[in-house]
Every structure is written in structure tokens, then in C-alpha cells.
Structure 1
Amino acid sequence: MKNNLENFNGWLQKQSAIKNINLRSVNMEKKLFWNKLKNEYIGRGFATLCGLIIIVLTLSIIIFIASKGINTFIKWRYPITEFLFTSNWAPDSSNPKLGAAIFFVGSILVSVGAVIISAPIGIALAVFMHYISPKVGSKILQPSLELFVGIPSVVYGWVGFSVLLPFLKRGFGGIGFSLIAGILVLSIMILPTIASISADAVKTIPKNYMEASYGLGATRWQTISRVIIPSAKSGILTGVVLGLARAFGEALAVQMVIGNTVKFPKSLLSPTSTLTSVLTMDMGNTVSGTAWNDALWSLALFLLIISFIFIIIIRAIEKRSEMK
């Protein structure tokens, strides 16, 4: 009788242990399910929602600017060829003239001029930081470039206005406000972009490329010019295009030093205007629905199209690099 009672108690303990194990297993499965729901499904849903919001916002901006920008050519029936290729800008007259060629030419000259100055310097800095003096590059140049990136554009414009313009006026005559002033200010602003991206590009070049070049008897400069830079060409071109895109879209700093005159520059010391400068100067002085206001929206639309062109160029460079 006693043995039977002990066996029964043992059986009860086993059943209780099995029940506890089953409860723990169920609780563990529930916990895993809720963790998966929280970490995977909710996280994936939130990321998808954020992506959809970005897409909707981007499309909304494009549609809004396009709907405003086409009024010049639909509502006012102004020929797009005259808008792009003539320079008679009198949007507030009784018979509005909306030739915007001056602003396109000004933006192109300022942006290309800034890239011509900053691209060689940026590439040289990238090479210096990684292949000539890495210690100086990591301790001095890299922090300096990061500092330049964080400086607001109004500070660049103010320094150009208070330092560069008086220097140009004393040294070369004129009023100081000029195309070259805009080029110099922009070249400093886009230099960190070109240098940083070029540095990332040259940093990814395998060391065995250099070792093979040295093994063939090449000097350090021959290795840099004929091996490193050609191998990093795609990344360097991406940095240059990004710098050009930033220069094309910069408004405040350029506006403060370029002079904002509606005429083609006769020389580097002549004042002129750009797409961004005329937008920031005139948008607050116009009335919605007027030819002047619609013309400014058309300039904004073309500026947006130019930005998309830069993005397409960058994607094409990246795809070409991946194919190689």
C-alpha cells in the first residue's frame, strides 16, 4: 500500500513537471511571437510607412512646383524658347518680358568656375590624407573638412561680403560685387564635399595595386597619378558632380556677393545674377497669380529639373562603376 502511494505521488510530480514545462513552452512561444511582432512586423510597417511618406512628399513637391511653373507657358502663353534663350527680363511691366537666359548663364558660370577651382584641390587633399601624410590627414585635415561642412552658408556669405569684396574692390577696382566673388565663395563651400567623397574613393583602392606598381619600379607620384586616381575615378567623379549640384543650388551666400544685376557678366569682375539669387530676391516682392510670380515658379521648376539631371548622372556613374 505504501509503495502504491509513493508511486502515485511520483506520478503526480511527473505530471506537474510536464504541465510546468508545457506552460513554459507556451509562454515562451507567446513571448517569441510578441517579440517578432514588435521587432519585425511593427518595425517593417513603420519603415514602410516612413518610405511611403517620403514618396508622397516628394511627389507632392514635384507636382506642386510643376503646376505652378507651367503657368508661364500655359496661362501666359510665353514661348519656352524665349524664356530660356532671351535676356529681356521685365516681368513687372504692362507687357511682361520673361527672358531668363541671364540667370541660367550666371548659375552655370558660377557653378562651373567653383568646380574648376575646388575639384583639383579636393582631389589633392584626398590623396594627401591617405597616401602622403595620413597622420596629418586624420588629425588636422579631416576634422577641418567636417568643420567646414557644418558652417552655415550665411557665414560664408558674410565673410565674403566683409572680407573678399573689399579686397577685390581695392585690388582690381569696381564695386567688389562680381562673378569671381561668387565663384570663390562657392569653391570654398563645395571643397569639403569633393574632398570627403574623393577621400572615400581613394581609400577603397586595394593595397596590392600600389605594391604591384612599386614592384614594377614606379615612383610614389607615378603610382598616385597612374594607378590610384584612375582606379578611384568613379568615386571622384561622383564627388565632383555632387559639388556641382550643391553649387548650382546654393542661394544665400552667392546672393550676398554676386551683385544681383540682371545682365550678362562682361568679365569675372562684373556683377550678375543666378537662378537661386533671383528666386530669393524677388519671390517676396511678387503677388501670386501674376506673370512675375509664375515666372519665378518656372525658374524653380527648371532648377528642380537640373537637380534631377545631376542625380541621374550620379546614378549612371555608380552603375558604370559596378559594371566594371
Structure 2
Amino acid sequence: MFNRQSSIADHDRQAGGARRRRTEKGIRLCFFTIGSASIITLSLIMLFLFMEGIPIFSRVSITDFIFGRLWYPTSDPGRFGIFPLIIASMSVTAVASLISVPLGVMTAIYLAEIASPRLREVVKPLVELLAALPSVVIGFFGMVVVAPFLQDALNLAVGLNLFNAALMLAFMSVPTICSISEDAVFSVPKELKEASLALGATRWETIWRVVVPASVSGISTAVILGMSRAIGETMVVLMVAGGAAMIPGSIFDPVRPMPASIAAEMAEAPFRGDHYYALFATGIVLFVFTLIFNLVADHVSHRYRQVGAATL
């Protein structure tokens, strides 16, 4: 009787193990399929982008395309120099970063280390909620409210300019920078902070010399991802940057970043014409910039993770 019960139990365990293995295999297959579909989709998008953009280089050299200072795609012959568009994108991103990085990082440190738990529960969702605002709403706010204010307050000829676009992009980047940075700061082991305080360090010294170095990997990643979002944003810069394809002389000049140019002109470009190919080539350049930002974020993340561990 005992042997029979033992055999039944062994059979049940074997059957249960077989079911678990089948379930695990199914889950692995599901994740593999989803991951493969994502990679294939991205690869096809990249392939299409390069197929539609490369033909312009049979008419314009890569050097003239990237460093050319005249963007007149509808003239005869067309002038396809995107250097003003590149400078506009980089300028808007740089100014937006100068505004959003200090705000985002300092807000993250405040929420993680200084604010009370009750205040953190209220403020952090509000900050993250800003990321859900549609970009067209932010652009409309910049066009209707911020532009007239800048024009009147600073006596400008036009309120739709580089600075206005940078302000709106900074507003959009702060939630990304703040949320990721706050998670990085909050994840610093409590023992490190307690050890610093036990050695006589003040709360500010602990934050500056222990918490920030330990979380610099996550903070750096947050900053670069925020910059990536800024350089790739389309609707806001289309609405508030001014739309002038020229190299800006100051932050109050109108500009036309690469995403704005693509969005504004694609519908008017003749299919498979030079203008059409030039816009896709501009997309390739924008893709390369975004890829560089992400590669830098990955490199900085790994590098400073090692430095932080060695320092602490």
C-alpha cells in the first residue's frame, strides 16, 4: 500500500514537473517571439529609412548635404544643405538641457532625500503626470502664451524662436530626468548614508559626497535620455521654433530643427523626388544623433557604475 502511494506521488511530481517545463518553454517562446518581432520591426524601419534617404547622395555629396548652409529644396536647382537644421537641433537641445537638467536632478534629490514621504507621494505623481501631456498641447501653450510674453517682456521681433522652443522642450524633459534620477537616488543603500552620518558628515555632505556619486550612473542615463527626447521632439519645435532654416545668431532667433523640417515639408515633397529623398536623409542624420545619445548613455551608465563602486 505504501509503495503504491509512493509511486502515485512520484508520478504526480513527474507530471507536475513536465507541465512546468512546458509552461516555461511556452513563456520563453512567447518572449522570444515578441523580442524578435520588435527587432525585425525596427530593422525594417531602419532599412526603409536608408533606402529612401541614400538616393539623394547621388545628386548631392555627403559633405555638401551635411555642411551646406542653404536649405532651399524647392528652388531650381534645389539646395540641400542641412547644416542650419543641425545647428538648430543642437542649439535647442543644449539650451533645453541647461534648463531641464538642474531642475530635474535637484527635484529628484529633493524628493528622494529631503521631502517627507507624504509630500513625495503627492509631488512625484504630479511630476510624472507632466510626461503624459500631449506635445501639441505644450506647443500650443508656447505659441499662445509664452511667445507673446517673450515678445513683450524682452521687446523681441518675434516670440517664436529658439529660446521659446528650448523652454517647452525643457518642460517636456524634466519629468523624464526627474523620474529616472529619483529612482536612482532612492535606490542608494541606506547603510551608505547611515555610515556617512555616523562618521560626522552633515546631511548635505552625505547627499553630495555619498548619495550623488553612488547614483551618478542613473542620473547620467536620465540626463542623456532627456536630451534624446528633446532632440527628437517634433510637434513642439514645429509650432514654436519659428521655422527659419538659418544658423541662429542668438537664442532669440527663429530656427528650424530637423524634426520640424521633416514634419513641415514631407507632405509637400514630390514622391521619390530630390526633396523627398533629402528629407529622408535628414531623418538618417537625426537617427544617427539619437543613436549616439543612447550609446553614450549606455557607456556612461556602465563606466560610472564601476567608478561609484570603487569610490564607495
2:222 to 232, 239, 251: 239
Q: In structure 1, what is the Cα distance between the partners aligned to 2:215 and 2:34? A: 34
Which of 172, 188, 201 lines up with 1:205 in the alignment?
188
Question: Alpha-carbon deviations, 1:2-23, whole Å to 9, x = none?
Answer: xxxxxxxxxxxx7xx95x9878
1:40: which partner in 2?
24
Moved more, 41-50 or 96-105: 41-50
- 2:163 matched to 1:180? yes
Distance in 1 between residues matched to 2:16 and 2:110, nearest whole Å:
54
Does structure 1 retain, via aligned residues, the 8 Å contact 2:228–2:290?
yes
Is 1:93–2:75 an aligned residue pair? Answer: yes
Question: Which residue number in structure 2 is paired with residue 51 of structure 1?
Answer: 35
Give the equivalent residue in structure 2 for 1:160.
142
**Deviation beyond 3 Å, 4+ runs, structure 1:** 20-36, 321-324
Q: TM-score, normalised by structure 1?
A: 0.87
2:49 to 56, 65, 78: 65
Task: Give CA-to-partner distance per residue, 1:281-322, whole Å, 9 cap, x none.
Answer: 000111121111100000001111112111211211222144
Letter matched to residue 256 of structure 1: M
**Which moved further from structure 2: 266-275 or 135-144?**
135-144
The 8 Å contact of residues 182 and 257 in structure 1, kept in 2 or not, is answered as: yes
Counterpart residue type for residue 269 of structure 1:
F
Give the counterpart of 2:99 among 99, 117, 131: 117
The residue type paired with residue 290 of structure 1 is G
What residue ranges of structure 2 are gaps of 5+ in the alignment? Answer: 308-312
2:217–2:305 CA contact under 8 A, matched in 1: no
Match of residue 264 from structure 1:
247
1:131 deviates by 1.6
Equivalent residues of 1:202, 1:232 under 8 A apart: yes
Report the number of matched residues.
306
The one-letter amino acid paired with 1:36 is R
Paired AA for residue 146 in structure 2: L
Q: CA deviation at 1:119?
A: 0.6
Q: CA deviation at 1:26?
A: 5.8
1:280 alignment partner AA: A
Q: 1:311 to 1:181 in 2, by over 3 A?
A: same
**1:40-59 deviation digits (Å, cap 9, x = unpaired):** 22222222111211111111
Counterparts of 1:186-201 in structure 2, within 5 Å, are: 186-201=169-184
Instruction: State the AA in 1 paired with 2:21.
Output: K
For residues 21 and 157 of structure 1, the distance between their equivalents in structure 2, rounded to whole angstroms, comes to 72
- Between the aligned partners of 1:236 and 1:23, the Cα distance in structure 2 is 57
Structure 1 distance, partners of 2:118, 2:241, is 35
Taking only aligned residues, the RMSD between alpha carbons, in angstroms, comes to 2.2
State the match for 2:310 in structure 1: none
The sequence identity of aligned pairs, in percent, is: 31
Contact 1:129/1:136 (8 A) holds in 2: no
Please say if 1:141 is aligned against 2:126.
no
Corresponding residue of 2:302? 319
User: For residues 286 and 35 of structure 1, do their structure 2 counterparts lie closer, same or farther at Cα, with a shift above 3 Å needed?
Assistant: same
Letter in 1 for 2:34: C
Asked if 2 retains the 8 angstrom alpha-carbon contact of 1:258 and 1:272, the reply is yes
Question: Quick check: 1:103 aligned with 2:88?
Answer: no
Distance 1:280 1:129 in 2: 37
Q: For the Cα contact (< 8 Å) 2:228–2:293, is it kept in 1?
A: yes
SS of the residue 1:232 aligns to: helix
The one-letter code sitting in structure 1 at the alignment partner of 2:167 is L
Using the size of structure 2 for normalisation, the TM-score is 0.91
* Cα distance, 1:295–1:264 mapped onto 2, change above 3 Å: same
From the CA coordinates, give the structure whose radius of gyration is larger. 1
**d(CA) in 2 for partners of 1:302 and 1:134?**
45
Residue 81 of structure 1: aligned partner: 63
1:17-28 matches, cutoff 5 A? none
Output one character per residue of 1:233-265: Cα deviation in whole Å (capped at 9) or x when no partner: 221111110000000000001211111111122
Equivalent residue number for residue 303 of structure 1: 286
Distance (Å, rounded) in 2 between the aligned partners of 1:46 and 1:111: 39
In 2, Cα distance between the equivalents of 1:202 and 1:29?
46
